[in-house]
């Protein structure tokens, strides 16, 4: 024994070694040297279970793998009665810090000790938990099989860990069998056993099966706790089954459990995700305002953030702003996450200046914006084409000490590519490499999609070649982008060729596009593994169906089935659309039945395609049967369903049935489409039933508000169908409301009024349009001028002529003022021809050269030219009007 070792041994004989090692844990190497010196002088003392437990934890935390292996050798060089316990402690430390293979090796060593009892179940449970925390459910199953080979009886904790691992692997049926085989005595399941399995089913979207497990807890002597109820409620909320979630909330109360804030947050989150943010807000207000009568929990930070995110997602910016103010008052706007949610909401809704100011406000409030904050704003700026502003923001980010990441550069790349600025995109790539922020496959695909979309395949090839030189090969997403571009550009044969080639050559099949893509082929990048997937076939089949090549599309379906790729609802609906578009309704129904046989349940969208197809063939009785089938299967109709039905019944002459559908959807709380309102108004006006048309118009106002497109629609139809006075009143109401006149056939209306000897009414409308500052087709004046001249009222005719010529002086340079309508709520009316400047100019010039025998136009213009001395009309304008004698 050396003098140093003897001194160390003498010191620790009167001091607990485990305590000494803990005091030196901050310096793992010093602790190890101390332990090693003592182990060489007094191995029996140093290799005790307590000392080994401490030193193994210290060196494992410090990732000192050679020292762990040396400790293992020491235990076998100096066997003692405590060797088994020391090996157990060493195995647990290795597992706890991620040395899983080493932990299993120590376990095998423990089992190989002569005359040693089997490893204790506590060791197995400890190892199982460590493997599970490290997301290694495969090792859990291996260890469990090892435990069974020893003939040991696992306890309930071991079985619970096993079920957790099986659920993590998606092996729910295996986990269920473990639960069912748990004995009624000894290792009988507890509430944690059921909770683990219920969580697994809910996470897999099988909440109904999880509810059945809840029902089976009673017979096994288990009572569901608050966590289990919350798990189920959250599962049903995620699946959109709000009514079942509400049922469970009531059941909780019946079991004596009060819903907590987690319960309510699950409901609020589900409502916000499904777009029912106002319903979520009502729950939030109830929670906030409850004075104890309803025993509701108070909202927490998560609750506020969920509602704020819901408002932002639905575009309710002012409501979100009010909530932010409320959060500030209540002390809940104190997290960077809340700022980022509000920042994302502002960007999502185009409030980029406010978002920029919020970044500054964050600093003033003591919150340093993180990389995610800056990326939100940079992405929003690039999406709006404001790439220069995004670059400036990135400069501010750098000045704040935050380096751009791949997401930052990807946004800029997308922005430059969308503007066709390939050189700037190249500079971004160079800057990324300079800053050691290497592009990934996602960046590569952004470039490919942007350039391929613009048809700049050669430039895409050059850029991708540079990416490939850096080691980023093409993946299936890249190939899908190319296949989509080929389908969109009508090069279906080349797309088919590439998809077939992918099975043999992977991404090397893109070499068929030309030499620019040949250099992208690199087996080192895994091109041979780049096989077509479900999305690849969806893109190709959709392109073939749109082109009417249905037989080839069916062959591709058979090909993907042969490759083991199961079709989804998108592919089935692609075939449905293709068959319906080409009038092959019977084939479409065969697809529907095959879809059901394969376990792919038809959705509302599926049935909408069939309704549309049947309507095109005027098969109204079949539509009735299909609606009955939808209701029998619990498939709800949506606004598209009703729109297709209304169109079919209107075109089939059953307009009363179409009107009843409008009433039905309004009562169901479904917002109608503008197309539905348009079709019904036109149908009833054409049928002469103007009273019902007025009722439909009022329904439209209730749904969309006071929109000029609605007024223009009814006004035009009334005018066309001879109800000129009613059209005049409606147009006057529109003018009183300050509406733009672009959606109105005002010229036709004034002509019809003049033809019906209602010149005064036509004149009043004309003056009202002039007085409100509208710039409209100067030809609109002529019917009134004609009428005045024929009636001998030349003075008023001259006044109108002067006004007409003043307007004509500006008409070639300006277009009528129109108000852009919001595109929300499916309100997207078609633009009237009267809002198109070119057509108005044509009308005006055509009128100047008309020959109706009266010569009124040229006479008036000559008189105006002579009398006014061209003071109000530019000479160039008169030349344009060809007013030569």
DSSP 830: P
Q: Residue with structure tokens 């750098």?
A: 398
For residue 474, give the H/E element and its range: none
Q: How far apart are CA 52 and CA 45, in angstroms?
A: 10
Residue 353 burial class via C-beta count within 10 angstroms: exposed 0-12, middle 13-18, buried 19 and up: exposed
Q: Quick one: tokens of 142?
A: 């291996």
What confidence score (pLDDT) does residue 773 get? 76
What pLDDT was estimated at residue 641? 83
What is d(CA 720, CA 724) in angstroms, rounded to the nearest whole number? 8
- Give the count of alpha carbons within 13 A of 280, CB side only: 27
Determine how many CB atoms are found less than 10 A away from the CB of residue 549. 18
Domain ranges for the chain, please list them. 1-117, 280-332, 335-417, 718-885
272: which 2 tokens? Answer: 């916000």
CA dihedral (262, 265, 267, 270) positive or negative? negative
CA 715 to the chain's CA centroid: 39
Asked if 93 contacts 53 with a C-beta cutoff of 8 angstroms, the reply is yes
Contact 68, 88 (CB under 8 A): no
pLDDT of residue 376: 92
The pLDDT of residue 465: 66
Identify whether the C-beta of residue 539 lies closer than 8 Å to the C-beta of residue 483.
yes
Question: Do residues 575 and 545 touch, judged by C-beta distance below 8 A?
Answer: yes
Q: Could you give the C-alpha distances from 548 to 489, 543, 760, in angstroms and in order?
A: 15, 9, 57
Chain centre to alpha carbon of residue 648: 32
Closest C-alpha among 24, 19, 96, 84 to residue 57: 96
Q: Which two tokens stand for residue 757?
A: 């000897």
Between CA 117 and CA 128, with CA 122 as vertex, the angle to 5 degrees is 115
Read off φ and ψ for residue 840, nearest 5 degrees: -70, -40
Q: Distance between CA atoms of 846 and 827, rounded to whole angstroms?
A: 35
Report yes or no: 474 and 497 within 8 Å, Cβ to Cβ.
no
pTM for this predicted structure: 0.51
Q: How far apart are CA 869 and CA 829, in angstroms?
A: 45
Q: pLDDT value at position 610?
A: 87
Q: At what angle do helices 534-546 and 476-488 cross, to 10 degrees?
A: 0
DSSP string, 356-416: HHHHHHHHHTT----HHHHHHHHHHHHHTT-HHHHHHHHHHHHHTT----HHHHHHHHHHH
Task: Pick out the chain residues at pLDDT < 70.
Answer: 1-16, 41, 44-46, 100, 106, 110-112, 114-124, 132-133, 137, 140, 143, 146-153, 183-187, 292, 294, 439, 451, 454, 457, 459-474, 511-529, 809-885
Look at residues 680, 708, 674 and name the one whose alpha carbon lies nearest to residue 694: 680
Q: Which CATH architecture has domain 1-117?
A: Alpha Horseshoe (1.25)
Cβ-contact 199, 231 below 8 angstroms: yes
The confidence score (pLDDT) of residue 434 equals 79
């Amino acid at each position: 024994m050396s003098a140093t070792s003897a001194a160390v041994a003498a010191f620790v004989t009167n001091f607990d070694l485990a305590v000494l090692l803990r005091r030196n844990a901050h310096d793992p190497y010093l602790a190890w040297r101390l332990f090693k010196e003592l182990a060489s002088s007094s191995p029996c003392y140093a290799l005790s279970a307590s000392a080994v437990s401490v030193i193994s934890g210290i060196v494992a935390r410090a990732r000192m793998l050679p020292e762990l292996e040396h400790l293992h050798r020491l235990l076998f060089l100096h066997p003692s009665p405590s060797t088994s316990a020391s090996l157990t402690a060493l195995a647990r430390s290795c597992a706890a810090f991620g040395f899983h293979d080493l932990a299993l090796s120590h376990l095998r060593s423990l089992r190989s000790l002569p005359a040693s009892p089997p490893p204790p179940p506590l060791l197995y449970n400890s190892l199982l938990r460590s493997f599970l925390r490290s997301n290694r459910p495969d090792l859990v199953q291996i260890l469990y099989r090892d435990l069974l080979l020893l003939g040991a009886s696992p306890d309930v904790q071991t079985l619970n860990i096993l079920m957790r691992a099986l659920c993590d692997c998606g092996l729910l049926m295996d986990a269920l069998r473990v639960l069912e085989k748990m004995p009624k005595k000894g290792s009988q399941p507890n509430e944690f056993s059921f909770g683990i399995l219920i969580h697994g089913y809910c996470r897999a979207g099988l909440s109904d099966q999880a509810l059945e497990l809840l029902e089976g807890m009673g017979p096994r002597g288990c009572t569901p706790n608050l966590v289990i109820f919350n798990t189920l409620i959250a599962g049903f909320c995620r699946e959109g089954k709000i009514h079942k979630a509400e049922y469970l909330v009531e059941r909780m109360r019946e079991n004596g459990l009060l819903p907590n804030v987690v319960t309510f947050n699950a409901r609020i989150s589900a409502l916000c995700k499904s777009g029912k943010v106002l319903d979520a807000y009502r729950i939030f207000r109830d929670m906030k305002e409850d004075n104890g009568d309803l025993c509701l929990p108070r909202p927490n930070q998560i609750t506020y953030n969920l509602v704020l995110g819901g408002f932002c997602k639905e575009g309710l910016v002012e409501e979100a702003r009010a909530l932010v103010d409320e959060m500030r008052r209540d002390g809940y706007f104190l997290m960077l996450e809340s700022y980022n949610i509000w920042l994302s909401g502002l960007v999502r809704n185009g409030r980029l200046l406010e978002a920029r100011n919020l970044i500054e406000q964050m600093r003033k409030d003591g919150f340093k914006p993180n990389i995610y904050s800056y990326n939100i704003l940079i992405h929003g700026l690039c999406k709006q084409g404001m790439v220069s502003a995004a670059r400036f923001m990135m400069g501010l980010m750098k000045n704040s000490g935050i380096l751009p990441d791949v997401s930052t550069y990807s946004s800029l790349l997308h922005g430059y590519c969308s503007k066709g600025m390939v050189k700037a995109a190249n500079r971004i790539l160079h800057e990324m490499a300079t800053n050691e922020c290497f592009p990934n496959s996602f960046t590569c695909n952004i470039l490919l999609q942007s350039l391929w979309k613009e048809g700049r395949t050669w430039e895409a090839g050059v850029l991708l070649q540079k990416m490939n030189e850096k080691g980023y090969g093409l993946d299936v997403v890249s190939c899908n982008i190319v296949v989509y571009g080929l389908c969109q550009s009508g090069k279906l044969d080349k797309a088919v060729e590439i998809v077939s080639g992918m099975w043999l050559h992977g991404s090397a099949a893109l070499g068929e596009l030309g030499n620019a893509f040949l250099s992208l082929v690199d087996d080192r990048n895994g091109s041979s593994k780049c096989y077509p997937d479900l999305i690849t076939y969806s893109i190709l089949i959709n392109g073939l169906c749109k082109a009417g090549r249905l037989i080839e599309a069916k062959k591709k379906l058979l090909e993907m089935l042969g490759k083991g790729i199961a079709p989804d609802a998108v592919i089935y609906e692609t075939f449905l659309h293709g068959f319906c578009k080409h009038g092959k309704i019977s084939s479409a129904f065969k697809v529907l039945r095959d879809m059901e046989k394969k376990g792919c349940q038809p959705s509302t969208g599926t049935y909408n395609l069939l309704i549309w197809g049947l309507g095109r063939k005027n098969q109204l009785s079949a539509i009735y049967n299909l609606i009955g089938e939808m209701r029998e299967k619990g498939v709800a109709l949506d606004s598209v369903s009703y729109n297709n039905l209304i169109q079919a019944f209107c075109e089939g002459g059953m307009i009363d049935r179409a009107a009843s559908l409008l009433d039905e959807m309004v009562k169901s709380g479904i917002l109608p489409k503008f197309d539905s309102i348009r079709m019904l108004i036109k149908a009833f006006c054409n049928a002469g039933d103007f009273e019902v048309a007025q009722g439909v118009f009022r329904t439209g106002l209730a749904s969309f508000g006071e929109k000029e497109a609605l007024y223009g629609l009814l006004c035009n139809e009334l005018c066309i169908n001879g109800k000129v006075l009613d059209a005049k009143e409606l147009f006057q109401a529109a003018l009183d409301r300050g509406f733009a006149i672009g959606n109105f056939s005002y010229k036709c209306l004034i002509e019809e009024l003049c033809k019906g000897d209602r010149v005064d009414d036509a004149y009043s409308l004309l003056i009202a349009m002039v007085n409100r500052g509208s710039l409209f087709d100067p030809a609109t004046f002529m019917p009134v001028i004609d009428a005045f001249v024929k009636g001998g009222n030349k003075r008023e005719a001259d006044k109108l002529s002067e006004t007409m010529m003043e307007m004509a002086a500006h008409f070639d340079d300006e277009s009528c003022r129109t108000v852009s309508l919001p595109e929300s709520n499916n309100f997207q009316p078609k633009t009237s021809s009267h809002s198109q400047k070119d057509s108005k100019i044509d009308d005006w010039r055509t009128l100047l050269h008309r020959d109706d025998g009266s010569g009124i136009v040229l006479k008036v213009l000559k008189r105006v030219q002579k009398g006014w001395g061209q003071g109000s009309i530019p000479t160039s304008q008169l030349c344009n009007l060809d007013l030569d004698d």
